[in-house]
Amino acid sequence: MDLTPYLETLRADLATAAAPGGSEITRAAELLGHSLESSARLALLEALSDAAAEITTRLSDTTVEVRLRGREADLVVTSLAPESASAAPAAAPPPVDGGDLTRLTLRMPEALKTHVEQIAATEGISVNAWLVRAVTAAISYPPAPPVPPRGRPGKQIKGYFQA
């Protein structure tokens, strides 16, 4: 998706609004329009990404993501592979209420982030879509029972060994 026509429309609207002010105001509007292009492009990309994330949350077996290629944005729709019959879920995931999306800052070790990016790329989805799916799966199923400690309860050996 080429964003240039949208940016040119924004620039033209700004020039039209400045026209009654004279040549100096029109020139200032042209300069302002060119200097705002990168910010406007980023705002359009964020709007596209938010829309893709919202659409993805409303689809059960499809993800929509925005991929950048140079200065162009491509919308990529990916159907998820159906789960095998042997891996039937214990409970249905909670329904998404379709409410407002919110931004969340997540801090994680760089190695984990790299691993998440690799898995998401392997599955052909964005990191955001993968994380939303992982969180949804995590809250959909009851946690595993705690693993009992190994050895005899109450008996611990502490210390160190030197050879």
**Domain span at residue 65?**
50-80+101-143
143 vs 64 pLDDT, higher one:
64
In a domain, 148, yes or no: no
| Shared domain check, 55 and 127 | yes
| Total tally of structural domains belonging to the chain | 2
Work out the percent of the chain whose per-residue pLDDT is above 70: 74
Place of tokens 């994680």: 108
Residue 67: strand pairing partners: 74
Residue 57: name the closest of 122, 126, 142, 141 by CA.
126
23-78 confidence digits (pLDDT tens): 888 888 888 888 888 888 888 888 888 888 888 888 778 888 887 777 778 888 88
66: left (phi over 0), alpha (psi -120 to 50) or beta: beta
Residues 30 and 75 in one domain: no
Q: Is residue 96 part of a domain?
A: no
Lowest average pLDDT, out of 76-80, 92-96, 110-114, goes to 92-96
DSSP 13-51: HHHHHHGGG-HHHHHHHHHHHHHTHHHHHHHHHHHHHHH
Same domain, 130 and 56: yes
Q: Are 68 and 120 within one domain?
A: yes
Q: Specify the pLDDT at position 155.
A: 55
Q: Supply the pTM of this predicted model.
A: 0.44
Decide which of 150 and 120 is more confident. Answer: 120
Q: Which pair of tokens denotes residue 78?
A: 């990916």
Cα angle: 3, vertex 77, 121; to 5 degrees = 95
Closest by alpha carbon to 103, among 132, 73, 124, 74? 132
